[in-house]
Structure formats: structure tokens, C-alpha cells
Amino acid sequence: MNTHAQKIALVTGATRGIGTETVRQLAQAGVRTLLAGRKLATAQAEAKKLADAGLPVEAIQLDVTETASIAAAVKEVQDRHGRLDILVNNAGIAIDDLTKKPSEQTLETWRTTFDTNVFAVIEVTQAFLPLIKASPAGRIVNVSSALGSITLHADPSSFIYDFKIPAYNVSKSAVNAWTVQLAYELRDTPVKVNTIHPGYVKTDMNNSDGEQRGEIEVDEGAKTSVQMALIDADGPTGSFSYLGQVLPW
């Protein structure tokens, strides 16, 4: 018997890349998964591809930077399913100008990055939390990055030492910090909150200037999110990991 068959998941930013693959892998595990995207038509098209392959996938419109869109998505999940077992906060942007130093990034870049990568994660989580608490074993997975590790950035021997993409990096540090705060709040409940590093994945985000970057394929990049979404009662909370390896904050 598939123990995940009755679970309901929602993945934000799921119309491409790691998001779409996270939906696929959760659905392959038997989870009924809501593929969320800013544009409903795009989400529906991607969801149809997966549903046509026999996977339990539904589309839902969700712009994580729009309060009204978040509220509408929460109502839709409430009306359709009455609860949410898994929330994967996958949506994110990287818009730093790589030709500029950390001190030269514009304030607009910082604000826009934090609006999507931090404040949207907090707002979406706050909005869905009542539905997650209605689950017998709620799971929240925040997609961060090793680039959010302050410890690694301060270590000259670290593999990320020279990857100073400031607004993006600091936004992921903030996501990590938020994860710890929320996990503490929910420590005596069945809800587990974790943050993950997907790996250096070959995605559009790593191809912004026309040069393809990344070391691993998208299917590998989705694995940690899926693993943490499906942890049992003995699994961690308030952790930061990559494929089972604990990462430094």
C-alpha cells in the first residue's frame, strides 16, 4: 500500500525546472500534488502533461508576491481538500548583476529579491499554516541554497567562497533563519519545517546570461525537497540539508 496516496501537497513556482520536477516526483510517490504557477494557463498546461502520464497532479494559480492570489489559493485548497499535508516553498528569483560588486547592487535589486525569496515565503506559509495544521503530519520545505550559508561564505576554503551573489545569497540566509524560527514555534506539533539545498542545478535560473551553468540535472535537484517532504515522524525539523547531509548555517 502506498502510504503517501492520501497526502495533499502544493509546490510554488512549479511551472518549470526544479518546481515541475518536484511535483513529478511527489506525484510518482502517490501524493496528490498541486502545481502552482503565477499564470493559470501555464500551470494547467504543465499539470496536464503530468496528469496525462497518469500522475495525480492538479493546477492552481498562485502568485506568491500577491496577497489576493495567495488568499484565493488558500480558499481553493480549503474547498478542494480541506487540508494541506505538504507545502514546498520553491518559488524564487536571482536577479543580481553579476558584473557588480556586493556594495554596487541596487536597492531595487535587494527589495525585489527579498519580496519574492523571503517575504513571499513567509506570507504564503502564514496563509497556508491553518490548513497545514489540519494535517495529521504537516510538512513545510523551504528551498534555500548552500549560498545562504554564512559559515561557508566566511570560509576561504569553502567551495562557495567566491560565489558572492549578494541579494540572492542573503535572501537565502534569511529563509534559513525563518525556518529555524518557525520550526521552534511548531516544535510540539506534528508539523516539521526544514530548509534544503537543491544542488547546483542546470536550470533557467543558472542560464540567465545565456551561459549554461550547473553541475547536476533537474531530477537530482528535486530529490532533497521530495525527501524532506516525505519524512516520517522521526524525521528532523529546523534542519538545513542536501541529500541527507546536514549543511552549516
Which residues are catalytic, by number? Answer: 168, 172
Q: Provide the 10 A C-beta neighbour count for residue 158.
A: 15
Strand partners of residue 231: none
What is the Cα–Cα distance from 217 to 223, expressed in whole angstroms?
A: 11
Cβ atoms 88, 124 nearer than 8 A: no
For residue 61, the one-letter residue type is Q
Please report, as a single letter, which amino acid is at residue 19. G
If you write DSSP's letter for every residue of 58-99 in order, what string do you get? EEEE--TT-HHHHHHHHHHHHHHHS--SEEEE--------TT
Set of cell numbers at residue 235: 524525521
> What is the spatial order of strands in the sheet that 8-11 belongs to?
57-61, 32-37, 8-11, 86-89, 139-143, 192-196, 240-242, 245-246
Look at residue 221 and give its three-state secondary structure: helix
